[in-house]
C-alpha cells in the first residue's frame, strides 16, 4: 500500500486528486488536504469584484465528490511539511505520513512587503474570492463618490492577466453606470512593456494591450516599483533600464486594486533543498524535487526562473492549462513509481489563455509557455468574453463531475494539436491506469 498525499485543494490539487485516482493500485490511498471544503474558481474573481458574479456561483463543495471517488479529504490547514520524516504536520498537531507528496498549495500573498498594500490596508485584491467580495463592496461605495482609480500589479508579481482583466472590466462597468467620464484611470505594472505578462509577450500582446488601454483612456506606467501606499495616494518609482529612478509618481486614488507579490506558503518556506529563496518548490522536468524524490509539485508554487533580466522584478505566470499539463505528467509519473518504473513523462507547459475585458477580450496560445515557442499566437474580439463565460461553466461542471479531462476535451485538444504531455522517446508508451 502507498499513501499519496496532495497538499492543496485549488485548481491543481483538485485535478491532481482526480487524475491520481486513475493511477492507483487496489490498496493505494489518496489524501487531499485543503484549507476548507470549498473549491473556488479564481478566474471569475474579477467578475465578483464588480458584482457580475456571486460567490456561491463559483464555488463547489468538494466533500461529497471526494467521498464518491474514495479520496480521503482533510479540510484543516497544514502547518509544516517534513520531507525528512515524510509527513505533513497539521495545525492540530497530527501528522499525515506519505510515500509520495504532491505540493499544490499555490502562493502566499505578500502584501506585507509593500507598506499600505492589501485589503487590510488601502488597496483591494482579487486573488481570493473573499477579497473580491470586499473589493465589490468598496467599488459600490466608490461609485457613489467617483474619483481616480489606480490598478495593476506590484513588483514581484507573477500573474498579470487578472490585473489587465480587472482594469478593462471595471472600465466596462463604469461606462455601464454612466460615470466613466468622472474616473481618471492609471495602470501600474513592473513589466518592462505593456503586454509582457511575465512571458516576454505572446504574439502581439504588446500592441493589443496598448491599443486597448488607449481606446479606454487608461494611462500606464511600466517598469514601476511601488514604494508606499497611503490612504488616498500611491508613491511609485519608474525605473530606468540601468536600475536608476527615471521618474517619481505621486498617484492619487479613491479606489485601487493591486496584485501583490507572491512567495511560498509558510508550510514549506525555508526548507533547504525543497524551496528557493522565495519559498517556491524546486522541481525537475518531471515535476519532481531533485533533493527529495518522493516530493512532486504543481501549479503556482513551482519555482520557475524569470524570463531574462528586467529593471523591476517580474515573475513567470503559471496559467491554467500549463498547470493541467503538470498535473497529468505528475499523475503518470507517480503511477510509474507505484509499478516499480521510473518517471518518463514531461509536461509540455503549453498555455491557452482567455483574458476577458467585459465586452471583449484577448486570447492567446503559447506552445510552450516559455519562449522560444513553436506556436506564438494572440487574437482579440468580443468572442473571447463569450468563450470565457462558457469555459467558466464547463470547468465548474468538470469539477462537480469529479473528472479532470473528459474524452471530448481530450479529442478537441488532439485535433488542435495542443498536447499536455511529452511522450517518452524510443518507442516507450505513456503509462496507463494501474492495475
Whether residues 235 and 297 fall in one domain = no
Range picked from 268-272, 377-381, 411-415 for highest mean pLDDT: 268-272
Residues 278 and 385 in one domain: yes
- For residue 430, the model assigns a pLDDT of 41
Predicted local confidence at residue 147, as pLDDT: 98
Among 212, 244, 261, residue at a domain's last position: 261
Which residues, listed in sequence order, are joined to residue 296 by a DSSP beta bridge?
102, 288
Domain coverage including residue 9? 3-109+263-422
Of 217, 245, 261, the last residue of a domain is 261
* Dist CA 88 CA 135 (whole Å): 34
Q: What is the pLDDT of residues 12-64, one digit of tens each?
A: 999 999 999 999 999 999 999 999 999 999 999 999 999 999 999 999 999 99
**111 neighbors 117 (Cβ within 8 angstroms):** yes
Pick from 243, 261, 279: which residue ends a domain? 261
Name the residue with cell 482579487: 126
pLDDT at 118: 98
The predicted structure's pLDDT at residue 406: 82
With respect to residue 428, please indicate whether it lies within any of the assigned structural domains: no
Q: Identify whether residues 255 and 327 lie together within a single domain.
A: no
Q: What is the CATH number of the domain that holds 397?
A: 3.50.50.100
User: Could you tell me which of 106, 203, 204, 210 has the C-alpha nearest to residue 159?
Assistant: 106
Tell me: do 267 and 379 sit in the same domain.
yes
pLDDT band at 429 (very low <50, low <70, confident <90, very high): very low
- Is residue 56 situated within a structural domain? yes
Same-domain check for residues 415 and 274:
yes
Residue 183: give its domain's CATH number: 3.50.50.60
Cα 24 from Cα 20, distance rounded (Å): 7
- Report the greatest alpha carbon distance in the chain: 66
Question: Is 81 inside any structural domain?
Answer: yes
* Separation of alpha carbons 139 and 14, rounded Å: 32
Angle between helices 205-215 and 161-176 (to 10 degrees): 20
Q: 228 with 315, same domain? A: no
301 given a catalytic annotation:
no
283 belongs to a structural domain: yes
34 found inside a domain: yes
Q: What is the mean pLDDT of the chain?
A: 94
pLDDT at 416: 78
Instruction: Mark whether 250 and 126 lie in a shared domain.
Output: yes
Is the per-residue pLDDT at 435 higher than 60?
no
Q: How many domains does the chain have?
A: 2
- Decide if 375 contacts 366 (C-beta within 8 A): yes
Q: Are residues 131 and 149 in the same domain?
A: yes
| Structural domain contains residue 427 | no
Burial of 119 (0-12, 13-18, 19+ CB in 10 A): buried
Distance of CA 381 to the CA centre of its chain: 24
The more confident residue out of 201 and 81 is: 81
Same domain flag for 187 and 197? yes
Please report which confidence band the pLDDT of residue 382 belongs to, taking 50, 70 and 90 as the band edges: very high
Return the pLDDT at 82.
Answer: 98
Active site residue 143: no
Q: Exposed/middle/buried for 227, CB within 10 Å: 0-12, 13-18, 19+?
A: middle
Integer Cα distance of 228 and 65 in angstroms: 45
243 plus 277 within the same structural domain: no
For residues 300 and 403, membership in a common domain is answered with yes
Q: Which of 127, 143, 301, 353 is catalytic?
A: 353
Whether residue 147 is found in the same domain as residue 201: yes
Displacement of CA 316 from its chain's centroid (Å) = 10
In a domain, 430, yes or no: no
Q: What tens digit of pLDDT does each residue of 58-92 get?
A: 999 999 999 999 999 999 989 999 999 999 999 99
Cα distances (angstroms) measured from residue 210 to each of 43, 53, 238, 378: 22, 28, 18, 14
Is 429 among the domain residues?
A: no
Spatial distance between the Cα atoms of 195 and 202, rounded to a whole number of angstroms: 8
Amino acid at each position: 500500500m502507498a499513501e499519496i498525499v496532495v497538499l492543496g485543494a485549488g485548481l491543481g490539487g483538485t485535478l491532481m486528486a482526480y487524475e491520481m485516482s486513475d493511477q492507483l493500485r487496489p490498496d493505494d490511498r489518496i489524501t487531499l488536504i485543503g484549507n476548507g471544503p470549498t473549491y473556488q474558481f479564481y478566474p471569475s474573481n474579477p467578475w465578483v469584484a464588480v458584482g457580475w458574479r456571486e460567490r456561491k456561483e463559483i464555488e463547489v463543495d468538494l466533500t461529497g465528490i471526494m467521498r464518491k471517488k474514495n479520496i480521503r479529504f482533510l479540510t484543516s490547514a497544514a502547518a509544516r511539511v517534513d520531507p525528512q520524516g515524510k509527513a505533513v504536520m497539521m495545525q492540530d498537531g497530527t501528522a499525515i505520513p506519505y510515500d509520495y507528496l504532491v505540493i499544490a498549495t499555490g502562493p502566499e500573498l505578500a502584501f506585507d512587503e509593500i507598506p499600505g498594500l492589501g485589503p487590510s490596508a488601502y488597496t483591494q485584491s482579487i486573488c481570493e474570492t473573499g477579497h473580491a467580495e470586499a473589493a465589490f463592496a468598496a467599488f459600490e461605495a466608490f461609485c457613489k463618490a467617483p474619483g481616480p482609480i489606480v490598478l495593476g500589479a506590484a513588483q514581484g508579481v507573477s500573474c498579470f492577466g487578472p490585473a489587465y482583466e480587472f482594469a478593462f472590466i471595471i472600465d466596462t462597468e463604469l461606462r455601464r453606470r454612466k460615470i466613466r467620464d468622472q474616473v481618471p484611470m492609471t495602470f501600474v505594472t513592473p513589466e518592462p512593456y505593456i503586454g509582457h505578462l511575465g512571458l516576454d509577450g505572446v504574439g502581439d500582446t504588446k500592441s493589443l494591450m496598448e491599443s486597448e488601454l488607449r481606446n479606454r483612456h487608461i494611462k500606464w506606467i511600466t517598469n514601476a516599483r511601488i514604494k508606499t501606499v497611503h490612504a488616498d495616494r500611491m508613491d511609485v518609482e519608474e525605473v530606468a533600464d540601468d536600475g536608476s529612478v527615471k521618474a517619481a509618481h505621486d498617484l492619487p486614488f479613491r479606489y485601487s486594486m493591486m496584485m501583490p507579490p507572491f512567495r511560498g506558503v509558510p508550510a514549506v518556506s525555508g526548507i533547504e533543498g525543497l524551496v528557493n529563496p522565495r519559498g517556491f518548490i524546486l522541481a525537475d522536468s518531471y515535476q519532481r524535487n531533485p533533493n527529495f524524490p518522493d516530493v512532486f509539485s504543481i501549479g503556482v508554487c513551482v519555482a520557475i526562473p524569470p524570463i531574462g533580466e528586467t529593471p523591476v522584478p517580474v515573475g513567470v505566470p503559471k496559467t491554467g492549462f500549463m498547470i493541467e499539463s503538470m498535473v497529468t505528467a505528475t499523475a503518470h509519473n507517480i503511477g510509474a513509481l507505484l509499478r516499480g518504473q521510473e518517471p518518463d513523462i514531461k509536461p509540455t507547459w503549453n498555455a491557452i489563455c482567455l483574458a476577458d475585458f467585459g465586452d471583449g477580450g484577448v486570447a492567446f496560445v503559447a506552445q510552450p509557455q516559455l519562449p522560444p515557442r513553436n506556436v506564438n499566437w494572440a487574437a482579440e474580439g468580443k468572442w473571447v468574453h463569450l468563450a470565457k463565460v462558457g469555459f467558466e461553466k464547463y470547468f465548474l461542471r468538470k469539477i462537480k463531475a469529479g473528472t479532470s479531462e473528459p474524452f471530448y476535451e481530450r479529442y478537441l485538444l488532439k485535433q488542435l494539436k495542443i498536447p499536455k504531455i511529452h511522450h517518452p522517446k524510443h518507442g516507450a508508451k505513456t503509462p496507463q491506469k494501474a492495475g
